[in-house]
């Protein structure tokens, strides 16, 4: 055995003896990822086959065109550009309007002097995160119906009183704004935690130099949380093609597929409703590959521009 391998083995055994309790704690996490994240990747092969449950994955025939027939069918279908456009529009809208929201809330909470009022405000803001998604979507349906309070408020500004989720043009604003309401408080916790790590001496030095609260925020607080902001932005950019299907399925209907149907909901319908397992797997694999490439690209760009990256 090479010397480097023996020394690595000795280091691992010594490390395990010293920190065996930490290794025991991480076992459930490792098992979770192995069972639910890595093991299912074996099923990706059905994207290149005409899968039949009767004969299993290995027994199914390979798809025509060297296994790429399902990808060719998807790229050439009418739905390809529609769901790609909708996915990008919803993701970018959520990023542009939703990503700065928790940062702004965290900055505002950081300026509150009363600790009691700050705790109450923070608690109220992140409570929607813990509400069941089914309940949240039910509330959205009620509030945006033609008799709901949101529609009544908008009618005061001259908008027609209609059920907002029955019109394609209103789906993206409803989806994005409801997402901000649900997650803004929970997301602010990360930035508030980052603010606690900022050296208080920097604020003292800024005050001595005559900086007001706004200048302290711009020149001390924002640079202090910038690494956290960059990391969170990278994670969002890397999953820009990954719009979850759960909320959209609970909100949309066939009348607004034009703007509401995204890649994940298309995969859900084709795979679980139409039983086109190979076709839906091909679409899902395409989505995953694009997300993987995006996170590699944005991570590399971030490392070159700001020296902050995921790895």
Give tens-digit pLDDT for 245-275.
889 999 988 889 999 999 999 998 888 888 8
CA separation for the pair 251, 260 (Å, rounded): 9
Cβ contacts of 70 within 8 Å, gap of 6 or more = 47, 48, 63, 278, 279, 281, 282
Number of helical (H) and strand (E) elements in the chain, helices listed first? 17, 2
The per-residue pLDDT for 97 is 94
The per-residue pLDDT for 4 is 53
The per-residue pLDDT for 2 is 52
The per-residue pLDDT for 74 is 92
Give me 69's structure tokens.
């027939």
Q: What is the dihedral of CA 222, 227, 231, 234, to 10 degrees?
A: 70
Give me 122's structure tokens.
């923070």
Give me 154's structure tokens.
């908008």
Closest to 133 measured CA to CA, from 251, 54, 213, 234: 251
CA separation for the pair 233, 237 (Å, rounded): 6
Q: How confident is the model at residue 5 (pLDDT cuts 50, 70, 90)?
A: low
At 239 the three-state DSSP class reads coil
Q: State the SS3 of 95-150.
A: HHHHCHHHHHHHHHHHCCCCHHHHHHHHHHHHHHHHCCHHHHHHHHHHHCCCCCHH
Q: Is the pLDDT of residue 305 over 90?
A: no
Q: How far is CA 186 from the centre of its chain?
A: 13
- Taking the whole predicted model, whether its pTM rises above 0.75 is answered as yes
């Amino acid at each position: 055995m090479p010397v480097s391998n023996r020394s690595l083995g000795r280091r691992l055994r010594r490390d395990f003896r010293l920190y065996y309790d930490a290794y025991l704690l991480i076992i459930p996490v490792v098992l979770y990822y192995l069972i639910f994240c890595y093991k299912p990747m074996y099923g990706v092969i059905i994207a290149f086959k005409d899968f039949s449950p009767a004969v299993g994955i290995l027994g199914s025939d390979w798809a025509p065109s060297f296994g790429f027939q399902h990808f060719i069918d998807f790229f050439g279908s009418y739905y390809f550009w529609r769901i790609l456009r909708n996915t990008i529009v919803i993701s970018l809208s959520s990023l542009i309007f939703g990503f700065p929201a928790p940062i702004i809330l965290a900055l505002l909470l950081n300026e509150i002097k009363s600790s009691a009022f700050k705790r109450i405000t923070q608690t109220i803001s992140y409570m929607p995160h813990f509400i069941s998604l089914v309940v949240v979507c039910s509330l959205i349906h009620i509030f945006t119906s033609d008799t709901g309070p949101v529609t009544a408020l908008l009618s005061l500004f001259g908008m027609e009183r209609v059920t907002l989720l029955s019109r394609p043009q209103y789906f993206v604003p409803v989806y994005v704004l409801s997402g901000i309401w649900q997650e803004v408080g929970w997301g602010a916790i990360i930035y508030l935690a980052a603010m606690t790590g900022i050296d208080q001496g920097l604020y003292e030095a800024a005050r001595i130099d005559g900086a007001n609260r706004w200048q302290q925020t711009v020149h001390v607080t924002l640079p202090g949380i910038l690494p956290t902001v960059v990391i969170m932005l990278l994670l969002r950019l890397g999953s820009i093609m990954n719009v979850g299907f759960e909320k959209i399925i609970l909100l949309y209907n066939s009348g607004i597929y034009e703007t509401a149907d995204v890649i994940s909901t298309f995969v859900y319908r084709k795979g679980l409703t139409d039983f086109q397992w190979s076709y839906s797997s091909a679409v899902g694999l395409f989505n995953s590959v694009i997300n993987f490439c995006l996170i590699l690209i944005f991570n590399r760009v971030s490392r070159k521009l700001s020296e902050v990256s995921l790895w």
